[in-house]
Amino acid sequence: MNRTGLIVLQGIGALTILPYPFVLLANVMSIAAPGQTKLGALPFLLLSIYPLVWIALWVISWLALKSGATGLAFGLSSVPVLALVGAFGLYAFGLASVANFNKGQSDDVRRKMEPVNPLLWTIWRVGGAHRFPSGPVVPVNQAIQEVEANPARLNISVPPYGTPLNVAVSELAFAYTDSPLANTPYQQDVNRLVRALVAHGARFNEAEKTDLPAQWKLKRALYDGPITTATENPLVWRILTRQRDGVHLFTLRPDELPLLNQPTKLHGTPLYAALLEDGPDAVTELIKAGAHLSPEESLDPAATASLQRYK
């Protein structure tokens, strides 16, 4: 009976060995960290030899049991189990601390938003766990119903979060050249919410109108149909799909000069596309070659504000 009990106890304690490869890697990185001292590295060094300690406890426990020292055998074998219980306790405490921190942050956001614009707080909560701080989730259909029922609140901003439209658009994850980065039901829901806001009169405030990525994400959310930029203007497509390594700068090819100011439906002119991807090398090269914004883009505060940075 004592033998079986000791085997079970040591089996439970052996679970502490499972994460050892990851612990060892973290320890090595900590020991090798810049500025690390011998004293500071000591705990990580001791933790790295834990398997040797576990083996020693295992051997001594069986020797103790064989000699009749049952209490000593079980006591020594309990050390890894106590370590495991302590680790779970720390993990649970960490989870509780994170949850409390998130709740405190969420309550702080709510105190700022809800008294000024309850609709904004509802739209924020559509993000749920996708946002930081996270909060109680509101289904997108409920949020759309509140949008429809509260037209007077559609354009009330709450600093620093902005308007309801800005909060919703900030949750969109579009790639410039493809479908949503995360084409999930959540992204589809956010897209529906953005469309509902626009359909009922929501708009960006003056500061948000100068945010080019946000303006383009809104344009993409409202766009229906395939992305045909590559056939409309190959130069625009090359700008958007090029590899940027910080070494090979963008260079305009002679055969691309006729495409210099040819706009596309979704990504605009080459200069607009370069501003959109925040590519100083491409913007400078295009301007030098005579590129400019289209008449429509010249009326876009976001495009003109982005271009001003290069003048």
Q: Is the separation of the CB atoms in 279 and 244 below 8 Å?
A: yes
pLDDT one-digit tens code per residue, 21-68: 776 777 777 777 777 787 777 777 777 777 787 787 777 888 877 787
pLDDT one-digit tens code per residue, 213-231: 999 999 999 998 888 999 9
Q: Is the pLDDT of residue 170 over 70?
A: yes
Question: Cβ contacts of residue 163 below 8 Å, gap of 6+?
Answer: 120, 154, 155, 156, 157, 202, 203, 204, 205, 208
Residue with tokens 């439906």: 265
Q: Is the pLDDT of residue 96 over 70?
A: no
pLDDT one-digit tens code per residue, 232-247: 999 999 999 998 887 8
pLDDT band at residue 16, thresholds of 50, 70 and 90?
A: confident
Residue with tokens 């300690």: 53
